[in-house]
Structure 1
């Protein structure tokens, strides 16, 4: 396996300008969380297939005001000392955002979805939802696969304005029907079947 050499940050922590200088063709996925560079495991094909299929269902239902993409950078916190920029599995964001610009500001994002993998359980269940809530992203969905839970399910959450935290709005095993962030009706068999 080739050695990966990353540039050194300009200070004690990684600034957004340092993060933006990373090459696009790194053999690992990286995120920026509170000024720290976080290396992420490569995704398994089953993870990518579930994410792609769900993203397609969401995109097919999305009104023209929204666009849907996978694995695109979202700027959660532009703090000069401890910025956070993460690429969720699926992002639903305003059509006003220029497709040639990255990252997507969190205030343009309506929904983020994470597909839980064996190596990302803690991050997808605890760490990232907290970061998304702090960035005031209105909706968060967590997809539990047969690899990570006893049964395939999509857990949906909405931001509670009073607490600034997510509250559960449903657990969907066979069908996901919702009106937020827009009308969507998905038979989950089409998402989970190999």
Structure 2
């Protein structure tokens, strides 16, 4: 196994240019949070499977105005000194965005979904929702697996314009039926059963 060597940032913190210059084929997931490079291991297969299956069902229901992808870079804050660019597990964004371009700007995104695993509980439950809300992404879903909670469930949230934070809109165990961001009716058993 080879050691992972990353270039150093151009200054005291990582800029978007530094981050964008990193190779795409790294064996770890990287995020840029307030100018700090955050390194995470690649997800476990079960987490990837749940994300892939859920994304496919969301994509099947999505109107032509939306496209759905997994593990793609999203620009939450373009601040010169403390940029925020991360890759949610699932992203639903405007069909107007060119799929050959990265990152996807937050103002083109209607929904982000995070699948929680034992190593990402704190990040997916607290840190990332706050970043998504600050970027004004309208909908956030958190998928709790049987590894992280007593039962598989999808927790849905919508941005509250008055507070700027997310408010809970439901907890779904066997089926998710929603009208926002568009009409959805998903059998969750098919998403999480092995």
**TM superposition score normalised by structure 1:** 0.99
Q: Is the 8 A contact 1:41 1:119 kept in 2?
A: no
Question: What pairs with 1:30-179 in structure 2 (closer than 5 Å)?
Answer: 30-179=30-179
Gaps of 5+ in 2: none
Distance 1:25 1:94 in 2: 26
Tell me what 1:25 maps to.
25
SS in 2 for 1:29: strand
* Deviation (angstroms), 1:150: 0.2
Q: Paired residues, what number?
A: 194
Q: Which structure 1 residue ranges, 5 or more long, are not aligned?
A: none
CA distance in 2, matches of 1:51, 1:120: 14
**Helix, strand or coil at the partner of 2:119:** helix
Q: Tell me the CA shift for residue 27 of structure 1.
A: 1.1
The one-character-per-residue Cα deviations of 1:28-63 (angstroms, maximum 9, x if unpaired) are 110000000000121111001000000000000000
Partner Cα distance (1:189, 1:161) in 2: 33
Measure how far apart 1:139 and its partner are.
0.2
Per-residue deviation, residues 76-100 of structure 1 (Å, max 9, x unmatched): 0000000000000000000000010
- TM superposition score normalised by structure 2: 0.99
- Following superposition, the deviation at residue 25 of structure 1 comes to 1.1
Q: Report the 3-state secondary structure (helix = DSSP H, G, I; strand = E; otherwise coil) of the residue aligned with 1:119.
A: coil
State the shift of 1:75 in Å: 0.1
